[in-house]
Amino acid sequence: MIVLGVETSCDETSCALVDDGFRILSNPIYSQIDHEKYGGIVPEVASRQQIRKIALIYEQCLSQAGMTLNDIDGIAVTRGPGLIGSLLVGVNFAKGLAFTTGKKLIGINHLEGHLCSNYLEHHNLKPPFLTLIVSGGHTLLVLVEDMCEYRLLGQTRDDAAGEAYDKVAKLLGLGYPGGEKIDRLASEGNPAFFRFPRAVVRKDPFAFSFSGLKTAVVLYLRDKTDEFIEAHLKDICASFQQAVLDSLIDKCLKALEMHRIEHLAIAGGVAANSQLRSTLEAKAQRHGFSFYYPSLELCTDNGAMIAAAGLIRLKRGESSDLSLDATAQLGLF
């Protein structure tokens, strides 16, 4: 079985082909660069770029795999959450293909797509396992009890982890998106330079909160001179990053212990963070759990993760009809 995955939920346009051994046959990704000058994603611009790119990326996807539409058994597409204008481009494109070919169509939750990205590279990964989904829009700790059976342990009460990175990068004049830039600067800074707060949500041990941390950075920077910030930029980045990662890692370790789970996977844009990966790798060795993370290309939004989720659901006999709609606010639960 070969599934086409279509992903257009935000500012990436991607189509991918994945076979039933979870092998990626092709996965071209176009990342929009137009938003940097606005300091954040402009939804109107994002959806117009999606409409310009989708057919080109689809053609590239088929030609890279040396295949035609006839070789495809099913079409999976992100139906939400995301920017509604961007989502509608992919959903309509996929519906057009399904309508003209009669092939099976399946709408996929973007968060489930991120979760499934680890199946593409770690063929030994099987439930039960814990997944931390950390992206620009979401921060969730999910217990994968069985294929497609999820239990939400905790999520953010306010900002997502990636959103905190992007907002702090903007405050520091680093531009958008900021995660990768902070990651790079932090690797040369002192994480103990300043102690920013680690939020604890009362009576909810696995809930995250990052808006207080962002405010703490604003207050810290308020009386600092430009010279001071420039001289200590790496230390400030490292101190901020330490606060984010302490909170993410602490909750992962507690959840593994409380639910007696031996496997941890991370997914989403922030899963690309070098210190998050290396710290969890070291913790895995020390505490005796196995740790999985996607390659950098599969951390950010891509069609292959949507195809992987589609493959699982189509094989279970699920499908969507041509009334499939896009939903901007869509939870995994």
Q: Quick one: what does residue 179 bind among ligand KG4, Zn ion, none, with the CB cut-off 5 to 8 Å set by partner type?
A: ligand KG4
330 three-class SS: coil
Residue 109 contacts which entry, ligand KG4, Zn ion, none (Cβ below 5-8 A, type-dependent): none
49 binds ligand KG4 (CB under 6 A): no
Looking at residue 210, its amino acid is F
How near is the Cβ of 235 to ligand KG4 at its closest, in Å?
17
Q: Which of 90, 268, 303, 310 binds ligand KG4 (CB under 6 A)?
A: 268
Candidate ranges 15-23, 83-91, 96-104, 133-141; the one touching ligand KG4 (CB under 6 A): 133-141
Burial, 316: exposed, middle or buried (Cβ in 10 Å; 0-12, 13-18, 19+)? exposed
Instruction: Tell me the two tokens of residue 179.
Output: 């995660």
- Footprint on residues 16-45 left by ligand KG4 (CB under 6 A): none
Is 177 near ligand KG4 (CB under 6 A)? yes
The nearer residue to ligand KG4, 26 or 135, going by C-beta atoms, is 135
Q: Is 39 left (phi over 0), alpha (psi -120 to 50) or beta?
A: left
Number of C-beta neighbours around residue 84 at 10 A: 16
Shortest distance (Å) from residue 276 CB to ligand KG4 = 7
Least Å distance, CB 211 to Zn ion, is: 20
Instruction: Tell whether residue 273 is a contact of ligand KG4 (CB under 6 A).
Output: yes
Q: Which is nearer to ligand KG4, 10 or 280 (CB)?
A: 10
Decide: is 162 part of the binding site for ligand KG4 (CB under 6 A).
yes
CB contact set of 271 (below 8 Å; sequence gap of 6+): 132, 134, 277, 293, 294, 299
CA-CA distance, 126 to 263, in Å (whole number)?
A: 9
The interface region with ligand KG4, picked from 66-74, 86-94, 203-211, 263-271 by CB under 6 A, is 263-271
**Per CB under 6 A, which region of 46-54, 130-138, 196-204, 309-317 contacts ligand KG4?**
130-138
Residues that bind Zn ion (CB under 5 A): 135, 301
Helix ranges (H only) for the chain are: 43-65, 84-101, 110-121, 161-171, 179-186, 211-222, 226-231, 233-258, 274-287, 296-299, 303-315
Q: What is the nearest approach in angstroms of ligand KG4 to the Cβ of residue 167?
A: 9
| Minimum distance, C-beta of residue 185 to ligand KG4, in the bound complex (Å) | 11
Residues whose CB is less than 8 angstroms from the CB of residue 333 and which lie 6 or more positions away in sequence, other chains included? 150, 152
Q: Is 109 in the site for ligand KG4 (CB under 6 A)?
A: no
Could you say whether residue 189 binds ligand KG4 (CB under 6 A)?
no
- Calculate the alpha carbon distances from 35 to 6, 53, 175, 212 in Å: 22, 16, 10, 26
Q: Is 79 exposed, middle or buried (0-12, 13-18, 19+ CB in 10 A)?
A: buried
Q: How far apart are CA 242 and CA 106, in angstroms?
A: 40
Q: Is 166 in the site for ligand KG4 (CB under 6 A)?
A: yes
Interface ranges with ligand KG4 (CB under 6 A): 10, 135-137, 162, 165-166, 177-180, 183, 268-270, 272-273, 300-301
